[in-house]
A = this chain, B = another copy of it.
Amino acid sequence: MENKDNIAIKIVWDSFKSNLQRASKLLEELSDEQLALEISPSKNTGHYLLGHLIAVNDNILPLLGLGQSLYSELVEVFIKNADKSGLEKPTISQLRKQWHVVNKLLLEKIELLTYEQLLEKHTSVSNEDFAKEPHRNKLNVVLSRANHLAYHVGQIALLKK
């Protein structure tokens, strides 16, 4: 928080955290019955979107070099396939637990990164590409996931009465 660089980084990090809090608050307000519904006729269910958000957030761990994903089996059901794929989904109750586990670990691990480390390249960009495009850093992953979260939270919010 001493220099200007830190302020810009802090803003991005705070934005990610507040989007996560907003999402958690919304999920608590919704019953399992509400989450089982489609956000709009023939569109994704809240159930699918919850699994999707866990799978995407879980993937931040390896992307930032913070360890392996916890629930890599979710990728098949909630990223590679659509809601009505016919693949069996974990229950909403199970996903609610995974949501909290992933996010708690994510917040703890990212908090330990220094500002210097947040400006290092993320793991899916090569050294050569990073030299040319220094904005492809870990902070950028955090920001793009904050946006991704906002996009789907706007949809899940439609399930509120």
Interface residues of A (CB under 8 A from B): 1, 3-5, 7-12, 14-15, 19, 39-41, 43, 119, 134-135, 137, 139-140, 143-144, 146-148, 150-155, 158
A8 interface neighbour in B9, B39, B41, Cβ under 8 Å = B9
- List the B side residues contacting A147 at CB < 8 Å: 15, 19, 146-147, 150
| Cβ contact within 8 Å between B11 and A11 | no
| A43-B158, A151-B150, A158-B40 known; A119 vs B12 contact (CB < 8 Å) | no
Chain A binding surface, main DSSP class: helix
| Cβ contact within 8 Å between A150 and B154 | yes
Between A and B, 10 residue pairs with Cβ closer than 8 Å are: A11-B135, A14-B135, A15-B144, A19-B147, A39-B158, A40-B40, A151-B151, A151-B154, A154-B154, A154-B155
| A4-B5, A41-B41, A158-B43 known; A139 vs B11 contact (CB < 8 Å) | yes
